[in-house]
Copies of this chain bind each other. A is one copy, B any other.
Amino acid sequence: MNTMEAMLASLPDQYRWAADLTSPSLRAATGALVCGMGGSGIAGDVAGDVAAGAPVFVRKGYGIPGWAERLRPLVVAVSYSGNTEETLSGVEAADRAGLAIAAVSSGGALSRLARDHGWPLVEVPGGLQPRAAFGYLTGAVMRILESAGLVGETGLVEAATVTDELLGADLDGPGRRLADDLAEGLAGRITLIVASGSAAAAAYRWKTQINENAKSPAFTTTIPETDHNEIVGWSTLGSAIRRTVGVVALRDTHEPPRVAARFEPTLGRLSEGASLVGEVWAQGEHPLARIASLCVIGDMVSLRLARNAAVDPVPVEAIEVLKRELGET
């Protein structure tokens, strides 16, 4: 196992770690705004998809949206390093607006700010790539939303179980063969991930993992919106493009019937211009478990893509160089 594969093997224990946390002490909230970027912000996307019944929105950028001052959500700031400048600017704006704040971080400025201000803080174990701390970050956000009365049962224990089963011992579980097959079909291609709304966060996680681990392009599209524009976009360009793009569908066992009915004809239209590579079905019952089961296959696909292309999944030099150019710490 390389470094990133070893981090992936720890994912079930990350969910369990979060399930075993002492509940953060929080007042009841009417909604939440998760501020976070990249591998930290994805925790907000997942929590938002799981919460569904509660207003959980995600801010990926500087500051906070103007409406936050009206709706007064609990602001959950998530930055693995604790030093993400966009997230810190959101925290500053939230504090200025007098909003309740909770923080998730492994250290850095965000942890210091939380301690100084007495904000609830879930400090996650450090030393990982932010995207490899997915279970810690998602779990911490879920526990915060649970304490604020915005989600009921978190689903973290089931997420650990399904992830464990798919990974298997030494990453040789039933998810492995599926991931290897998909990676073979996606090699050297742009990946297009098709999902329904309930799996949109999982699709985005696939995209970012393929970007960062395999250093390859990937995009997402969401059914039913796909059927109103995307499917027309594949009928003109010729076989050169077809060879370039590989389509993977993420299927949720709980798709509403009218959504489920759209997959086959949608994939049929897309296949006129792109190559269908495969389908992945969610496992488990709780929404978090289902999302986690889709995400872990994407993790494995991205690492297999990297291995097949002899790419080290760990370094993300472009991100580091850009941060230096922008004078970020």
Contact = CB atoms under 8 A, between A and B. Distances in A.
A233 to B, nearest CB: 4
Interface stretch (A137-145, A153-161, A253-261, A291-299): A253-261
Interface string A121-153: 000000000000000000000000000000000
Given A52-B65, A258-B85, A229 B211 contact: yes
Contact of A229 (B52, B190, B207, B259): B207
Interface of A: 30-31, 37-39, 41, 51-57, 60-62, 65-67, 70-71, 85-86, 89, 188, 190, 197, 207-208, 210-212, 214-219, 222, 224-225, 227-237, 240-241, 244-245, 256, 258-259, 261-262, 265-266, 269, 272-274, 309, 311, 316-319, 321-322, 325-326
Given A55-B67, A188-B237, A233-B217, A228 B62 contact: no
A225 B89 CA distance: 14
B208 A229 contact: yes
A31 B71 contact: yes
A212 B232 contact: yes
Contacts of A197: 61
Given A62-B259, A233-B210, A265 B322 contact: yes
Most chain B beta carbons < 10 A, residue from A65, A217, A227, A266 = A217
A313 to B, nearest CB: 10
Nearest to A54: B67
A55 B59 CA distance: 13
Given A39-B228, A61-B225, A212-B232, 13 more contacts: A53-B67, A57-B57, A60-B224, A190-B244, A208-B229, A210-B233, A215-B235, A216-B233, A216-B237, A232-B317, A234-B318, A265-B326, A269-B318
Nearest to A256: B62
Contacts of A274: 217
A199 to B, nearest CB: 12
Contacts of A237: 188, 190, 216-217
A225 B66 contact: no
Nearest to A243: B240
B234 A244 contact: no
17 contacts: A37-B225, A38-B229, A41-B228, A51-B67, A52-B65, A52-B67, A53-B67, A53-B70, A55-B70, A56-B67, A211-B230, A215-B236, A227-B322, A235-B318, A236-B311, A241-B244, A265-B321
